[in-house]
Amino acid sequence: KTKRKHDRFNGMPEEEVALRLLPDHLAENLDILIVGINPGLFAAYVGHHYAGPGNHFWKCLYLSGLIPEPMNAYDDFKLIEHGIGFTNICARTTRGSADLKKPEIQEGGRILKEKLQKYRPKIAAFNGKGIYEIFVGHKKFSIGKQPEPLEGTDTVVYVMPSSSARCAQLPRAVDKVPFYEALKKLRDHIKAGKLQELDDADVTF
């Protein structure tokens, strides 16, 4: 007896879902630009960021106080009002980031730098250690605030663990909230013009 496959996409073949793109939500001078690696199938299918079942992103955003009320992936475009935008290093939708090719990741990194130089967010927050690793091309960095701003900009770089429920070291949303609380602290200090007063130990892990 063949096991019936759960239909996640209402009859749409996975190949067709993979052709869908996920729009960026960008504006100049955002407080935080959330940087992902590329759209997953479910996010591309519904057309909204971090929509996958079990992704902790939206819960952590609210529990940390980064947004004033609970929101979900279908509210992603509204986050511009709260100074938060979204982009990905690669635009191509795949089942997992392992399906991306190295040249397209490198090209995506170049395009991301251009976006950051154009839109000048106060903070670029990389949602996943592996994403930042790909972007900088090495592993010699801590989680949290990076010591140097992004080259050619004043944008502060912040790295946090992946919000995916598959993040084995931090399986629950509550495990990830401290990284979002530190991001909020960083944002609040930058907005108040008090970045120099912030102890980096409070925003690095």
Residues that are catalytic = 38, 49
Q: Cα separation of 103 and 128, whole Å?
A: 20
Q: Cα separation of 205 and 126, whole Å?
A: 14
Question: CA nearest 88: which of 42, 21, 29?
Answer: 21
Q: Which residue has the tokens 């749409």?
A: 12
Contact predicate 31/191, CB 8 Å? yes
Q: Is 27 left (phi over 0), alpha (psi -120 to 50) or beta?
A: beta
> What is the per-residue burial (b if ≥16 Cβ within 10 Å, else e) of 25-58?
beeeebbbbbbbbbbbbbbbbbbbbbbbeebbbb
